């Protein structure tokens, strides 16, 4: 234990960042692969094309709602169990594991029931009625995805629980196994069997089942505790503590859903007023394209969040150990690295948008699809550097124990700006206003982030000065 502590306190920060961030990045990228792979194969099936892509975009926020609940339970349990094990309280940790499993199963069944009963209203809420074909494909895809929700939520919820038990590699491998199976089955079901949206969804669900099965196997072989029937007795106090600890993770996910709902509906409403996309056969194109842009952004954000999340234990230990100089250097290093990731991504979307949309089936679509996709990539993601720095700031503040500041800043970005500008700007600029909403939101958030970053540096400098005077 001392060696681990000395390692966090004395090892070069660049080496520590690489060691802790790379597994996080891989796990997040693998998790993102499910929806992205589906969309790639759907887009390249000439009998689905942009209609299928638009349907995928409609359903995506609904999967994020399930994910938000799962990570709330999983991250909350992870934080709670880590603390209890550190305090030498294995019995309480065991009951926390059991309650988290019970909460996941119950909540996933409730979500599944709600999705199946209110499917029509839900896909409509997220913009499925751009035209009849998109609506039908959305319903088909959503039905099969809904059947897999219990497996999806269980796998996602148990992933941080497995990490809390000291097995981050197993957590990563279990997610990777499901994603690989999805990648193998997608082309078989879509191109060979011609199962369409059902095929894409079934491939995804089978991958999620594999991840869930591996999670069950691991829970039967926990290293820190042994689960028994008594572990699964529901305790309101334990459940409440898990939810409170996971609330920040829940809010960060659910705020994205609000933004996506606003964007999808503005695309549907103002796309109908566009001289080109108001035509029935082209009505699905803006929603399909924005979905593709979001998927590319999801890849970038997976890298950004993984880098920042990997710094959490380093920041936490050095903050607690009163080493403000190391915290300051790590913050600076992280911001520089995140800006570099953003800059590289910006160059890709500004210079090579044709290559990206080519992967998502542009050759099967009209010239209107290609033209709007190029504009969407170049406009929607033009503040990519600031978006990456903003996200790093949110997470670093949380790692420093400034959970309230982190949560408020995240909510301002996603809800106040993200939803607000998605609703406001189309009134002024029409369909293009949807594209402007993201860069405007990131620019204004960056101003607030800059103020907080400067304030944080000042606080750290004061701590450094206080330490110097006390010597």
Distance of alpha carbon 222 from alpha carbon 228, whole angstroms: 12
Instruction: Report the mean per-residue pLDDT for the chain.
Output: 89
Distance of alpha carbon 327 from alpha carbon 159, whole angstroms: 28
| pLDDT single digits (tens) 357-399 | 988 877 788 899 999 999 999 999 999 999 999 988 988 887 7
Radius of gyration of the chain (CA): 23
Cβ proximity of 262 and 124 under 8 Å: no
Instruction: Give CA angle at 254 (252, 257), nearest 5°.
Output: 120
Buried residues in 318-341 as b, exposed as e (16+ CB within 10 A): bbeeebbebbbebbebbbebbbeb
Distance of alpha carbon 460 from alpha carbon 464, whole angstroms: 6
| pLDDT single digits (tens) 225-278 | 888 888 898 889 999 989 988 887 787 788 778 888 999 999 999 999 999 999
Distance of alpha carbon 241 from alpha carbon 237, whole angstroms: 6
pLDDT for residue 3 is more than 60: no
- Residue 4: per-residue pLDDT: 45
- Residue 2: per-residue pLDDT: 41
Distance of alpha carbon 185 from alpha carbon 74, whole angstroms: 28
Between residues 28 and 120, the one the model is more confident about: 120
Task: Give me the residue label for tokens 């790639």.
Answer: 40
Given pLDDT bands bounded at 50, 70 and 90, which one contains residue 284? very high
Distance of alpha carbon 134 from alpha carbon 57, whole angstroms: 10
Distance of alpha carbon 106 from alpha carbon 445, whole angstroms: 37
> Residue range 457-466: average pLDDT?
86
């Amino acid at each position: 234990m001392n060696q681990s502590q000395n390692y966090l306190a004395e090892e070069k920060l660049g080496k520590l960042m690489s060691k802790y961030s790379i597994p996080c990045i891989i796990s997040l990228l693998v998790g993102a692969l499910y929806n992205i792979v589906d969309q790639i194969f759907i887009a390249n099936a000439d009998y689905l094309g942009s209609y299928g892509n638009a349907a995928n975009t409609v359903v995506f926020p609904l999967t994020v709602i399930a994910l938000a609940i799962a990570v709330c339970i999983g991250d909350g349990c992870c934080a709670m169990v880590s603390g209890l094990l550190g305090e030498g309280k294995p019995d309480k940790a065991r009951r926390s594991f059991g309650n988290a499993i019970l909460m996941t199963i119950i909540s996933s069944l409730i979500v599944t029931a709600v999705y199946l009963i209110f499917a029509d209203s839900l896909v409509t809420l997220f913009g499925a009625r751009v035209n009849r074909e998109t609506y039908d494909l959305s319903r088909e895809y959503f039905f099969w995805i809904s059947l897999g929700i219990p497996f999806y939520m269980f796998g996602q919820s148990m992933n941080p629980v497995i990490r809390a038990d000291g097995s981050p590699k197993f957590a990563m491998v279990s997610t990777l196994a499901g994603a690989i199976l999805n990648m193998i089955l997608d082309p078989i079901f879509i191109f060979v069997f011609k199962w369409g949206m059902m095929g894409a969804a079934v491939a995804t669900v089978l991958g999620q089942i594999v991840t869930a099965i591996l999670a069950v196997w691991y829970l039967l072989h926990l290293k820190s505790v042994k689960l028994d029937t008594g572990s699964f007795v529901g305790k309101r106090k334990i459940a409440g503590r898990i939810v409170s600890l996971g609330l920040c993770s829940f809010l960060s996910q659910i705020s994205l859903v609000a933004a996506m709902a606003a964007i999808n509906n503005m695309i549907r409403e103002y796309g109908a007023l566009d001289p080109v996309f108001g035509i029935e056969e082209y009505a699905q194109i803006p929603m399909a394209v924005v979905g593709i842009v979001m998927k590319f952004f999801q890849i970038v954000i997976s890298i950004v969040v993984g880098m920042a999340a990997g710094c959490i234990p380093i920041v936490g230990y050095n903050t607690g150990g009163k080493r403000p100089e190391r915290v300051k250097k790590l913050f600076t290093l992280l911001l520089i690295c995140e800006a570099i990731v953003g800059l590289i991504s910006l160059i890709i979307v500004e210079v090579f948008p044709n290559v990206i949309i080519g992967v998502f089936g542009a050759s099967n679509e009209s010239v209107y699809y290609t033209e709007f996709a190029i504009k969407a990539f170049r406009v929607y993601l033009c503040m990519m550097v600031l978006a990456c720095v903003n996200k790093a700031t949110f997470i670093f503040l949380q790692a420093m124990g400034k959970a309230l500041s982190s949560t408020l800043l995240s909510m301002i970005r996603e809800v106040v700006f993200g939803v607000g500008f998605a609703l406001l700007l189309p009134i002024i600029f029409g369909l293009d206003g949807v594209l402007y909403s993201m860069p405007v939101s990131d620019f204004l958030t960056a101003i607030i982030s800059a103020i907080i970053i400067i304030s944080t540096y000042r606080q750290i400098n004061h701590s450094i000065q206080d330490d110097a005077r006390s010597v």
